[in-house]
Amino acid sequence: MPRISLKGLELPQSAIRKLVPFADAAKERGVHVYHLNIGQPDIETPAGALEALSVKAHEMAEHKGVLEYSHSAGMPTYRRALCNYYHRHGIDVTPNQVIVTNGGSEALQMAFTVCLNPGDEIIIPEPYYTNYNTFAKLCDAKIVTIPSDIKTGFALPPIEEFEKVITPYTRAIMICNPNNPTGYLYTHEELLKVAGLVKKYDLYLFADEVYREFCYDGNKHFSVMQLEGLERNTILFDSVSKRYSACGARVGCMVTRNSEVYAIAMRLAQARLSPPSFGQFFGEAAVDTPQEYFDAVQAEYVARRNVVVEGVNKIPGCFCPMPKGAFYTVIDLPIDDSDRFCQWLLTDFQYNGSTVMLAPATGFYVNPERGRHQARITYCLCIEDLKAAMKCLEEALKVYPGRLPVRKSAAKKAATAATAPKAAPAKKAPAKKKAAKKA
Amino acid sequence: MPRISLKGLELPQSAIRKLVPFADAAKERGVHVYHLNIGQPDIETPAGALEALSVKAHEMAEHKGVLEYSHSAGMPTYRRALCNYYHRHGIDVTPNQVIVTNGGSEALQMAFTVCLNPGDEIIIPEPYYTNYNTFAKLCDAKIVTIPSDIKTGFALPPIEEFEKVITPYTRAIMICNPNNPTGYLYTHEELLKVAGLVKKYDLYLFADEVYREFCYDGNKHFSVMQLEGLERNTILFDSVSKRYSACGARVGCMVTRNSEVYAIAMRLAQARLSPPSFGQFFGEAAVDTPQEYFDAVQAEYVARRNVVVEGVNKIPGCFCPMPKGAFYTVIDLPIDDSDRFCQWLLTDFQYNGSTVMLAPATGFYVNPERGRHQARITYCLCIEDLKAAMKCLEEALKVYPGRLPVRKSAAKKAATAATAPKAAPAKKAPAKKKAAKKA
């Protein structure tokens, strides 16, 4: 047969999905799996927007309508509606600064293609969203990471750490805010520091802000589009997926005030003709989703987060920081190997007929070793299920063969001693024994 | 500002869309523009499928549903429905040989990425669909063309012509069948010849078959998926866009029996999470569109085609072959320069308050010179409008300053003399004067 391309062979496999066959097997054995591994919200999609799409499709059916290509940049009416949405969030952009995309993923792919040469480097605080790897690989760009620390809740690493890794190949800094996988919400001050660096070295600033609506405890989201003097540097990736619990709509956008980047991205947009029309009809109506919807969603996520944070922190040897946004958190676990543990949960463990599925944090680090004792938890389950899942996790850690001796977690100590900025890094205890069985 | 990537700067601009500003200006001056330039069908989208989507969206709104990510390869129910559709067309494939994509464009992009290294060559008979250029450029592959000839209606070039350009870098042969832009429908015999070549050199065979339903005069479509012994070579690109007049759905698919290609393409599919759910709901219902719908559509397109073929051929110096599929044709025109002529139609001409917009064929050839006296016509207008458009074109050619002296077109001569396989190639008459004015 003809051979596969070299790039194809090097494409990373999805770190999050590799455990799926084990979960499927567990379910086949009758074990209930609490999915704490995927960012698929269970919150209802706004009924008003669904109904608007329903009416639109019905009218087209009634009146012999044609489902046409939309403008390659997205329907003008939808782009205007999006600009109204952004305006309400303190972001002033115009419809010709917005390209509607096939989900946020396509926005990323477009920007990477337009901005990055082979060998160019993107600096990203880690842990980071694993799918960025594929889009970087597609343009042979290199992701360079700065570790953020669980002890500070994964706050922005000191700006000096960024400067240490800047080279002539550095082309962009990328942040996800609120953060997937950590749930960290960057402060205005932190973003100003990033802005200073971006200006100093004339870099692109890529920002994934798809969790903008999910900010807790009275904290306000600050967008990179509100940073002054970075009009030609900043590219925003956005999506309706999480905002309206509408991941299947596949409607995102790329926003930039840099007209050259926009013009070149439009060549890509035109080559693939247009973004999905049904999703745009939905998205346009969803812009009018009432604030009560978001208030209720936010209250629900705060309650869920609290269940997770309390549930994890009461387990000996575990530590969960207090995330201020999104619906993820990365936790420390007293285990030999998070890949092995997460697989073992699915293959060898159950408690009252149930188990939990976590995402090993190894996939969120350039060097998997850094995530060897961590896992990402998504709180997209109802409170009752989350409580049951926390109980499952607690029981699992009592019997997991690769469990490490419980000490008070260094991270937990550091986090509780708020005045200890120079806390010693958490030491990795050596792996005790290899216990995973084959599925 | 940070610089644009080299690849970004080299991305081709859409050849078809570059005249759009001139068309917009014409409309602003009150001139009616007959759009013979775009492949956006005006045929109604099947009401049953639209209504099924409407009901589905309404039910989700009623029952607090969640619009989730679908499976990255597409909803299992939709893939099963697609396999039933293919089975009816004599193509036996299974759901795990199908990846549902964001339109046919994403299917192309996936396959090119998985199969082509930088420097690899794809052989395509020209004229060819211009957007292939962007997807080839994205993986630094090179499109190598074999000219097909208007005198044979753009039939498959002799297979020796393919062999002449095969090099160690040749990785694939690509066909579009029925063809955009020529409307040519490849015969079973022609496809068997291609198959022989693909086997001999162990190449990929890429086939864009999005116009499968549009075959006229009793001719039957033969798919590359029906070619035996090419299971590991063949990759099919498909889409609901034209089939159901649903270009805005952005639902296509990539189909292959090559499990290695499939597995690597799935990594790309997983990185972008999923194809659009609303479009898949629509697509699944559309599989049950009754045959009467297609019969009516086909009859309409045949009538339109006949208006165009007769209309063009009665204009002195023009020639239009008889396309057997799709809704395009490439015609010969007695003009100095098709780019100039098509722009002039929009900037300097009107007849009874109207003009026509054509796609200059220069964009459909690797060497634009080969399309200098040709344009693509799309017959996506009603009969009455097409007749008016033909009249417009006739009148325009009477007054176009860059008109060439009328001789009996060499192509027309050759086509009418069916026994003259060695007809002399149409000579290019020299440009008489440069007449285009600025818009």
How do residues B146-200 score in pLDDT, each as one tens digit?
Answer: 999 999 999 999 999 999 999 999 999 999 999 999 999 999 999 999 999 999 9
B117, B28: one domain = no
Report whether the peptide linkage leading into residue B181 is cis, meaning its omega lies within 30 degrees of zero.
Answer: yes
Alpha carbon of residue B281 to chain centroid? 25
A435 found inside a domain:
no
8 Å CB contact of A138 and B248: no
Which tens digit of pLDDT belongs to each residue from B314-364? Answer: 999 999 999 999 999 999 999 999 999 999 999 999 999 999 999 999 999
The letter for the amino acid at A348 is D
* β-pair type (A252-256, A98-101): antiparallel
What pLDDT does A229 receive?
95
Of the CA atoms within 13 Å of residue A242, those in its CB half-sphere come to: 27
Counting one residue from A and one from B, how many pairs have CB atoms under 8 Å apart?
264
B62 found inside a domain:
yes
**What are the chain A neighbours of B234 within 8 Å (beta carbons)?**
none
pTM of the model: 0.92
Stretch B20-26: mean pLDDT: 93
A212, A349: one domain = no
The yes-or-no verdict on residue B218 having pLDDT over 90 is yes
- Distance from B319 to chain A by nearest Cα, in Å? 30
8 Å CB contact of B250 and A277: yes
**What are the chain B neighbours of A202 within 8 Å (beta carbons)?**
1-2
The yes-or-no verdict on residue B413 having pLDDT over 70 is no
B36, B65: one domain = no
The yes-or-no verdict on residue B424 having pLDDT over 60 is no
What is the number of domains present in chain B? 2
Domain boundary among A228, A258, A286: A286
Among A47, A68, A232, beta carbon nearest to B40: A68
Kindly give, in sequence order, each residue whose CB lies less than 8 Å from that of residue B333, ignoring residues fewer than 6 positions away. B317, B318, B341, B373, B374, B375, B397
Among B102, B232, B277, beta carbon nearest to A102: B102
Best probe of the A interface among B5, B234, B237, by most A CBs < 10 A, is B5
Q: Which residue, among A125, A128, A181, A151, has the nearest Cα to A379 in the 3D structure?
A: A181
Q: Which residue has the tokens 């054995």?
A: A29
- Distance from B407 to chain A by nearest Cα, in Å? 38
Q: Are A131 and A99 in contact (CB under 8 A)?
A: no
8 Å CB contact of A271 and B105: yes
Burial of B334 (0-12, 13-18, 19+ CB in 10 A): buried
Helix crossing, B277-286 with A277-286: angle to 10°? 130
- Distance from B79 to chain A by nearest Cα, in Å? 16
Domain boundary among A286, A321, A345: A286
Q: Residue A338: what are its φ and ψ, rounded to 5°?
A: -70, -35
Report whether the peptide linkage leading into residue B127 is cis, meaning its omega lies within 30 degrees of zero.
Answer: yes
CATH of the domain at B126: 3.40.640.10
For residue A239, the tally of other CB atoms under 10 A from its CB is 28
Distance CA(B287)–CA(A438), nearest Å, equals 42
Cα-Cα-Cα-Cα dihedral of B407, B408, B414, B419, to 10°? -130
What percentage of chain B reaches a pLDDT higher than 90? 88
Can you give the residue range of the structural domain that contains B183? 47-286
Q: Are B308 and B320 in contact (CB under 8 A)?
A: yes
8 Å CB contact of A271 and B131: yes
A40, A52: one domain = no
Best probe of the A interface among B3, B62, B66, by most A CBs < 10 A, is B66
SS (H, E, C) chain B: CCCCCHHHHHCCCCCCHHHHHHHHHHHHCCCEEEECCCCCCCCCCCHHHHHHHHHHHHHHHHCCCCCCCCCCCCCHHHHHHHHHHHHHCCCCCCHHHEEEECHHHHHHHHHHHHHCCCCCEEEEEECCCCCHHHHHHHCCCEEEEEECCHHHCCCCCCHHHHHHHCCCCEEEEEEECCCCCCCCCCCHHHHHHHHHHHHHHCCEEEEECCCCCCECCCCCCCCHHHCCCCCCCEEEEEECCCCCCCHHHCCEEEEECCHHHHHHHHHHHHHCCCCCHHHHHHHHHHCCCCHHHHHHHHHHHHHHHHHHHHHHHCCCCCECCCCCECCEEEEECCECCHHHHHHHHHHCCCECCEEEECEEHHHHCCCHHHHCCEEEEECCCCHHHHHHHHHHHHHHHHHCCCECCCCCCHHHHHHHCCCCCCCCCCCCCCCCCCCCCCC
Best probe of the A interface among B58, B63, B108, B278, by most A CBs < 10 A, is B278
Distance CA(B386)–CA(B199), nearest Å, equals 43
CA distances from B254 to A102, B90, B202, B207 (A): 17, 17, 20, 10
Distance CA(A348)–CA(A396), nearest Å, equals 10
8 Å CB contact of A61 and B48: yes
What pLDDT does B339 receive?
96
A118, A166: one domain = yes
B160 found inside a domain:
yes
CA distances from A327 to A211, A214, A316, A380, A381 (A): 8, 8, 23, 7, 10
The ipTM value here is: 0.91
* β-pair type (B252-256, B98-101): antiparallel
A315, A179: one domain = no
A199, A150: one domain = yes
8 Å CB contact of B271 and A14: yes
Domain boundary among A242, A265, A286: A286
Distance CA(A201)–CA(B2), nearest Å, equals 9
8 Å CB contact of A278 and B273: no
B35, B58: one domain = no
8 Å CB contact of A267 and B202: no
- Distance from A417 to chain B by nearest Cα, in Å? 40
Best probe of the B interface among A273, A281, A293, by most B CBs < 10 A, is A273
Distance CA(B104)–CA(B275), nearest Å, equals 12
Distance CA(A203)–CA(A29), nearest Å, equals 52
Q: Share the mean pLDDT of chain B.
A: 92
B296, B392: one domain = yes
Q: Are A354 and A307 in contact (CB under 8 A)?
A: no
A235, A313: one domain = no
8 Å CB contact of B273 and A105: yes
A438 found inside a domain:
no
Stretch B9-38: mean pLDDT: 90
Q: Are A365 and A415 in contact (CB under 8 A)?
A: no
A204 found inside a domain:
yes
**What are the chain A neighbours of B65 within 8 Å (beta carbons)?**
44-45, 50
Among A40, A115, A241, beta carbon nearest to B4: A115
**Lookup: tokens for A25:** 């097997």
B431 found inside a domain:
no
Kindly give, in sequence order, each residue whose CB lies less than 8 Å from that of residue A5, ignoring residues fewer than 6 positions away. B113, B114, B115, B116, B117, B120, B139
- Distance from B156 to chain A by nearest Cα, in Å? 23
8 Å CB contact of A267 and B14: yes
8 Å CB contact of A54 and B61: yes
8 Å CB contact of A67 and B135: no
CATH of the domain at A336: 3.90.1150.10
B21, B59: one domain = no
Which chain B residue has the Cα nearest residue A172?
B2
8 Å CB contact of A202 and B2: yes
A224 found inside a domain:
yes
8 Å CB contact of B274 and A248: yes
The segments of chain A whose pLDDT lies below 70 read: 15, 407-439
Helix crossing, B20-28 with B338-347: angle to 10°? 20
The yes-or-no verdict on residue B419 having pLDDT over 70 is no
8 Å CB contact of A45 and B58: no
A226 found inside a domain:
yes
Q: Are A179 and A223 in contact (CB under 8 A)?
A: no
Which chain A residue has the Cα nearest residue B117?
A5
Stretch B53-71: mean pLDDT: 97
**Lookup: tokens for B99:** 């990846």
Burial of B278 (0-12, 13-18, 19+ CB in 10 A): buried
8 Å CB contact of B267 and A202: no
A298, A258: one domain = no
CA distances from B10 to A117, B115, B154, B379 (A): 12, 21, 29, 32
